[in-house]
Amino acid sequence: DFSFVIQPIRDDEMGLSTGIGACGLAFGADWGVAGGGWSWAPITGKSAWFECAKKGVFTHEWLHQVYYAYHHLSGFSGIYGTLPDSTLPPCEEDNWNPYKWFPDTHQCVEDPDFISCGFEPDKCGDGDVIMEHILSEHWDPAVLFVANYCKNGIMDSGWPNYETGIDTGGRCNGIDTIPSAGAGDQHPVPYVTELPSGSS
């Protein structure tokens, strides 16, 4: 139910590298593959001083897929909304149930029960600590997690999903071509992981 695209940015045969603008990105299941989300992380080691294709980036991008599925496919209705319109309460407010919201990894400086709440956006701290916090403090085992809209038991008929029956048709049958967006349809905005400091 989760997909990753991982490819080198260097063509050894031609001696060329493609530029990258980020160390990773992710789309939710609405723009994913066969009903599930997808993430991308380039192999940069032969072309840069840093490597994007590593555990922390994979986990971070996977959690973007989880965030989308938790909020949009699993019946979870967080009390603070979903990105891009979510607003979390003030830092260290102590009258909450952490199962009532499921933050994105990029909300680490806004999550009121996380140690970096209130810090500058680039001061979240260790990615593994952020990810452990989200999964250990905000993952509600009572939520029936669904990661793939082709397995959610309903007929998704809006653009871009176009099922022809419950969990069948369109992308659920492996067809990855979809009708063009209508005038009112939104194009996806991927979650993007920034490049390490000092890279270009």
DSSP output for the chain: -EEEEEEESEETTTTEE---S-SEEEE-GGGSBTTBEEEEEEE-TTTSSS-SSSHHHHHHHHHHHHHHHHHHTS----TT--TTS--PPPTT--S--GGG----GGGTTT-TTSTTTTS-TT----HHHHHHHIIIII--TTS----BGGGSSS---STTT--SBTTBSGGGGT----PPP-TTPPPP--EEEPPPTT--
- Give pLDDT tens digits for 87-138: 788 887 766 788 989 999 888 888 988 988 888 877 888 888 999 999 999 9
Is there a contact between 43 and 52 (Cβ–Cβ < 8 Å)? yes
Share of the chain above pLDDT 70, in %: 84
- 187 band by pLDDT with thresholds 50, 70 and 90: very low
Higher pLDDT: 87 or 23? It is 23
> For 30-48, how does the pLDDT look when each residue is reduced to its tens digit (9 = 90+)?
777 788 888 999 999 888 8
Kindly indicate the confidence band of residue 164, based on its pLDDT and cuts at 50, 70 and 90: confident
Question: What pLDDT band is residue 174 in, cutting at 50, 70 and 90?
Answer: low
Mean pLDDT of the region 171-200: 50
For range 148-152, the mean pLDDT? 88
Asked whether the CA dihedral 141, 146, 82, 3 is positive or negative, the reply is: positive
Q: What is the pTM of this model?
A: 0.79
Note the pLDDT tens digit of each residue in 1-15.
888 889 898 888 888
- What are the Cα distances from residue 82, in Å, to 52, 53, 70, 73, 172? 27, 28, 10, 13, 25
Residue 111, CB-side half-sphere exposure with 13 Å CA sphere? 25
